[in-house]
């Protein structure tokens, strides 16, 4: 793709008056500090609404760059040193990494700090037996709860924000231009700069081999890890990590499991206590099958689904909203995709796929992006179409079935990263910038739509992508990945306890073009 035709660059050269829409930030179950509900305006104006030209170019059949230091999972040739940008969607067949989104969805907080809130299990279920057999070490979480009680955090956060919130509430009562709104938000003081800490805990039990392109899903205090690949091939083994004791287990499952796969997606639907696994494959063969794992009985099933299903793909993203499973983007081995499908999960006896065909500023087709649900809005960041590493952000209003483009204060390209929502921030970890792997931790402020940095102590993970991250008990748990040469099976923990006073806005607005 030539520089002049870059979808990111051409969009940023446009400027039109934007119309703000509200994006509510739901209260997390983790008792982070909350401020009173107030609509804030973003500092950034949004790009013009013209639809981005879609790049549907196929990958070269066998391009390899042995000399490049950024060998990648996107490669489909037998040479594992291929360039991630050139090989993201090639159709030959070597290990392909999972999108961090898959992880990201899995990383969406599903459990409060209160241990008593984890999903109940029956005494006779395999999961009940598993939990009973694992020792519980909760001294760290108990200390955190004692130090930062929900009431204490909320009160202190409110005191910190109240002067500016009052000021903003006053300005919201008058009609203002976009620039005036931006100036008002610019006066909001930055969040405190607490320290975060990396640590590498010891683990127990039967751990998975070093892998990439796997998925990790948080279910209560358990992290379900499935699939992935190494230099020998793909796997379809389920492992479970008990996060209070860091004890691995390899439980026996029932039913027919998915075939060995990588670059699939896995999403937890708490209402039914089930994990929905979609797509992925070994390359050049990819799937569009949906497998369901009952997390109580550990039984796999394959539901019958009517309608036009999404095409076979990998490196896509899935998430559950309003009792529907959504599938976005990815690649089919030849082309990148930007379609959006939905599957109503309420009636398991009459499942049907629905191609939503949203309008607006549709993102360029991509895979290996991340997607985070923020209220009824989907925030998509980064990814690649096989030729270019993207730095753009798009928001899909799921209630209006419309895409919008969002302009950030800086351009930071990423693919194969993870993105985890913590309150009003997205924590971006690792990935590839189109030239090399990264071990950075970046914070995207969803209120101001600007990048922020924080001081982090301790020894963190090495450069990598295609890892997974889940948020559990004020900690981000990172597992696995790949750096172009080596596969990883290590666990790292980023402790966010010191960030308890980060302001958490319960609702905000992003200026979006809807003309």
- Domain membership of residue 376 (yes or no) is yes
| Backbone dihedral angles phi then psi of residue 295, each to the nearest 5 degrees | -75, -10
CATH for 290: 2.120.10.80
Contact 104, 383 (CB under 8 A): no
What's the domain count of the chain?
A: 1
| Backbone dihedral angles phi then psi of residue 129, each to the nearest 5 degrees | -65, -40
- The Cα 370–Cα 127 span in angstroms is 30
Give me the pLDDT at residue 15, please. 35
- Domain membership of residue 92 (yes or no) is yes
Give me the pLDDT at residue 511, please. 58
- Domain membership of residue 427 (yes or no) is yes
Secondary structure of 141-192 in HEC code, one letter for each residue: HHHHHHHCCHHHHHHHHHHHHHHHHHHHHHHHCCCCCHHHHHHHHHCCCCCC
The residue range of the domain holding 477 is 25-56+70-114+193-512
Give me the pLDDT at residue 454, please. 86
- Domain membership of residue 145 (yes or no) is no
Give me the pLDDT at residue 130, please. 62
Bridge partner list, 238: 226
Tell me if the bond preceding 428 is cis, omega within 30° of 0: no
- The Cα 337–Cα 98 span in angstroms is 15
For residue 106, give every residue at least 6 positions away whose Cβ sits within 8 Å of its Cβ, in sequence order, or none: 215, 216, 217, 218, 266, 267, 268, 468, 470
Residue 265, CA distances (Å) to 77, 123, 212, 254, 348 in order: 23, 30, 13, 20, 20
Over the chain (515 residues), the average pLDDT of each successive run of 10 is: 36 37 40 30 30 31 32 38 46 35 34 34 56 50 39 37 46 37 40 76 96 98 98 97 98 98 98 98 94 98 96 98 98 95 94 98 98 97 97 98 95 98 95 97 94 92 99 97 98 83 52 53
**Which 3 state secondary structure label does DSSP give 483?**
coil
Q: Vertex 72, ends 69 and 73: CA angle to 5°?
A: 165
Contact 96, 279 (CB under 8 A): no
- Domain membership of residue 166 (yes or no) is no
- Domain membership of residue 234 (yes or no) is yes
| Backbone dihedral angles phi then psi of residue 280, each to the nearest 5 degrees | 80, -170
- Domain membership of residue 149 (yes or no) is no
Closest listed residue to residue 94, CA positions, set 127, 114, 72: 72
- Domain membership of residue 381 (yes or no) is yes
- The Cα 385–Cα 336 span in angstroms is 5
């Amino acid at each position: 793709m030539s520089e002049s035709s870059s979808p990111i660059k051409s969009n940023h050269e446009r400027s039109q008056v934007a119309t703000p829409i509200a994006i509510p930030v739901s209260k997390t179950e983790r008792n982070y500090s909350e401020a009173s509900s107030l609509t804030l305006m973003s500092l950034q104006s949004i790009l013009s609404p013209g639809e981005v030209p879609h790049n549907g170019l196929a990958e070269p059949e066998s391009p390899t760059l042995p000399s490049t230091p950024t060998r990648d999972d996107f490669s489909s040739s037998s040479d594992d040193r291929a360039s991630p940008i050139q090989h993201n969607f090639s159709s030959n067949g070597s290990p392909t990494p999972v999108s961090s989104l898959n992880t990201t969805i899995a990383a969406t907080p599903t459990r409060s700090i209160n241990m008593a809130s984890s999903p109940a299990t029956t005494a006779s279920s395999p999961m009940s037996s598993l939990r009973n057999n694992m020792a519980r070490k909760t001294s760290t979480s108990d200390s955190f709860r004692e130090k930062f009680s929900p009431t204490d955090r909320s009160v202190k956060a409110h005191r910190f924000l109240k002067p500016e919130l009052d000021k903003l509430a006053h300005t919201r009562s008058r009609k203002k231009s976009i620039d005036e709104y931006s100036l008002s938000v610019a006066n909001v003081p930055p969040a405190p700069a607490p320290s975060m800490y990396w640590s590498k805990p010891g683990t127990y039990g039967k751990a998975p081999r070093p892998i990439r392109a796997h998925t990790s899903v948080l279910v209560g205090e358990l992290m379900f890890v499935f699939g992935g690949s190494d230099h020998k091939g793909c796997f379809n083994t389920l492992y479970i990590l008990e996060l209070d004791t860091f004890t691995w287990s390899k439980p026996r499952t029932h039913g027919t499991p998915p075939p060995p796969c990588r670059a699939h997606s896995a999403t937890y639907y708490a209402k039914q206590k089930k994990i929905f696994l979609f797509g992925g494959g070994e390359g050049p063969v990819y799937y569009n099958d949906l497998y369901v794992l009952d997390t109580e009985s550990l039984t796999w099933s394959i539901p019958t689904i009517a309608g036009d299903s999404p095409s076979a793909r990998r490196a896509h993203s899935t998430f559950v909203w309003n009792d529907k499973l959504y599938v976005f983007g990815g690649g089919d081995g030849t082309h990148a995709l930007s379609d959006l499908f939905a599957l109503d999960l309420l009636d398991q006896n009459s499942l049907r796929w629905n191609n939503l065909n949203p309008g607006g500023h549709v993102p360029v087709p991509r895979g290996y992006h991340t997607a985070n649900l923020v209220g009824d809005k989907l925030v998509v960041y980064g990814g690649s179409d096989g030729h270019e590493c993207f730095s753009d952000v798009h928001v899909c209003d799921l209630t209006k079935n419309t895409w919008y483009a969002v302009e950030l204060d800086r351009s930071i390209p990423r693919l194969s990263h993870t993105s985890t929502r913590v309150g009003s921030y997205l924590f971006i970890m690792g990935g590839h910038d189109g030239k090399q792997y990264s071990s950075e931790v970046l914070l995207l402020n969803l209120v101001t739509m600007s990048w922020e940095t924080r001081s982090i102590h301790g020894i963190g993970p090495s450069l990598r992508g295609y890892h997974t991250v889940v948020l559990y008990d004020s900690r981000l748990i990172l597992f696995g990945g790949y750096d172009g040469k080596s596969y990883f099976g290590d666990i790292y923990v980023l402790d966010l306890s010191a960030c308890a006073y980060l302001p958490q806005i319960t609702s905000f607005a992003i200026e979006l073009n809807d003309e």
